[in-house]
């Protein structure tokens, strides 16, 4: 699609486009919201905190506007090198966006990391909006108090109350964002939903299934890489992925008794990857021990993160 064609998309109206950074504490619901607004799975969702490690861009179309959502890692107090890289990446995403959207878990309120994020937002010059998530679980009077407290701390342009899970309030949010972005051609083709290469998206899907299956057992220190991708003559694709863990004991957890865990993870990941590709998938998973992979610059590059010194 040429710039001229893109400019006249949506019935000849002048198109708008831009980047919206979602920031917030871990497990505030950013990935769920991005998937909801894009209308497709582009970011992994898990019970385990800090599952989003690098900036993942999900591309949504609303009327004549193309909205590029930047799902940033959750902001928290970093303890390890990987933590520092993720937090730095999140704030960098905010400073590169046209609009910054702070997502607050209404049940948790402004406790802990959320309060520190509000303080950090004061240094971000871009227009900022406040989005209170999970509002169906909190009494209206508590929501009003929460919104007032957050707006007292930071000068937000608007406040929205939504449920990323059921979609309540999301249409109003999209209406606002579509009008808030600058006029200009779209950055991506109309049918593209993410800027992630398929090899990386497939690895993210497997990592999600790993966390969903083993989130109470497997430590945070695990990583998935797609090592081989072969398009076959019968229209199927053969994918080989490696799950890296730091210790032999973690490898046993990932494999499970009699290979039960790895089979379940592979089946779930294969099904979802196949649905996205719209072709049969043969997925082969391997678990390898790589001690201290969290201090390996190459792994950081693979995840799209800068290696902090």
> What pLDDT is recorded for position 301?
57
Each residue of 13-28: b (16+ CB within 10 Å) or e? eebbbbbbbbbbbbbb
The closest alpha carbon to 153, from 169, 127, 133, 130, belongs to 130
Contacts of 110 (CB under 8 A, 6+ apart): 104, 118, 146, 149, 150, 153
Given this model, what pLDDT does residue 54 score? Answer: 47
Cβ contact 261:253 at 8 Å: yes
Q: Is-contact 240 228, C-beta < 8 A? A: yes
Count Cα neighbours of 101 within 13 Å in the Cβ-side half-sphere: 31
Q: For position 93, what pLDDT does the model report?
A: 55
* CA-closest candidate to residue 99, choices 167, 179, 209: 179
Separation in Å, CA 5 to CA 2, 53, 190, 221 = 5, 35, 11, 46
Q: What's the gap between Cα 111 and its chain centre?
A: 22
The answer to whether 217 touches 227, Cβ cutoff 8 Å, is no
Along the 309 residues of the chain, how does pLDDT read in single tens digits?
A: 445 444 444 445 699 999 898 888 777 788 889 889 988 766 655 443 344 444 567 889 999 999 988 876 554 444 554 545 554 555 565 677 899 999 999 999 988 778 878 888 888 888 999 999 999 999 999 999 999 999 999 999 999 999 999 999 999 999 999 999 999 999 988 888 776 678 888 888 898 888 888 876 665 567 888 899 999 999 999 999 999 888 888 899 999 999 999 999 999 999 988 987 889 999 999 999 987 655 666 655 555 555 455
β-pair partners for 128:
100
Give me the pLDDT at residue 4, please. 43
User: Helix (H, G, I), strand (E, B), or coil: what is residue 279?
Assistant: coil
Integer angstrom CA distances of residue 179 from 16, 176, 309: 8, 5, 41
Sheet containing 237-245, strands listed edge to edge, beginning at the edge strand earlier in sequence: 222-231, 237-245, 281-289
The three-state secondary structure class of 1 is: coil
> Which helix or strand (DSSP H or E) is residue 142 part of?
helix 140-153
For the record, the structure tokens of 88 come out as 């730095």
Give the pLDDT score at 124. 83
Check: CB of residue 162 under 8 Å from CB of residue 173: yes
- Residue 282 CA from chain centroid, whole number: 26
Task: Give residue 164's pLDDT.
Answer: 93
Structural element, H or E, at residue 299: helix 297-303
């Amino acid at each position: 699609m040429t710039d001229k064609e893109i400019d006249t998309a949506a019935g000849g109206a002048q198109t708008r486009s831009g980047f919206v950074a979602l920031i917030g504490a871990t497990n505030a619901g950013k990935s769920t919201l991005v998937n909801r607004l894009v209308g497709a799975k582009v970011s992994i969702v898990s019970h385990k905190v800090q599952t989003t490690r690098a900036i993942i861009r999900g591309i949504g179309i609303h009327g004549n506007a193309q909205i590029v959502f930047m799902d940033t890692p959750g902001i928290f107090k970093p303890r390890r090198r990987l933590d520092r890289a993720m937090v730095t990446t999140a704030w960098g995403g905010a400073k590169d966006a046209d609009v910054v959207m702070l997502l607050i878990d209404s049940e948790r309120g402004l406790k802990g990391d959320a309060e520190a994020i509000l303080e950090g937002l004061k240094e971000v010059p871009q227009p900022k909006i406040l989005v209170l998530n999970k509002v169906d679980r909190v009494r209206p009077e508590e929501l009003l108090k929460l919104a007032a407290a957050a707006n007292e701390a930071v000068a937000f342009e608007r406040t929205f109350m939504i449920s990323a899970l059921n979609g309540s309030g999301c249409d109003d949010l999209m209406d606002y964002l579509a009008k808030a972005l600058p006029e200009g051609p779209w950055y991506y083709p109309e049918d593209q939903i993410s800027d992630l290469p398929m090899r990386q998206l497939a690895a993210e899907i497997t990592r999600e299934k790993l966390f969903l299956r083993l989130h109470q057992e497997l430590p945070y220190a695990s990583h998935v890489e797609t090592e081989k991708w072969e398009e076959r003559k019968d229209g199927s694709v053969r994918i080989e992925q490696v799950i890296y863990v730091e210790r032999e004991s973690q490898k046993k957890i990932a494999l499970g008794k009699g290979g039960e865990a790895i089979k379940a993870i592979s089946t779930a990941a294969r099904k979802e990857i196949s649905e996205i590709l719209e072709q049969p998938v043969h997925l082969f998973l391997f678990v390898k021990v790589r001690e201290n992979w969290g201090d390996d610059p190459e792994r950081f590059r693979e995840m799209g993160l800068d290696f902090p010194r």
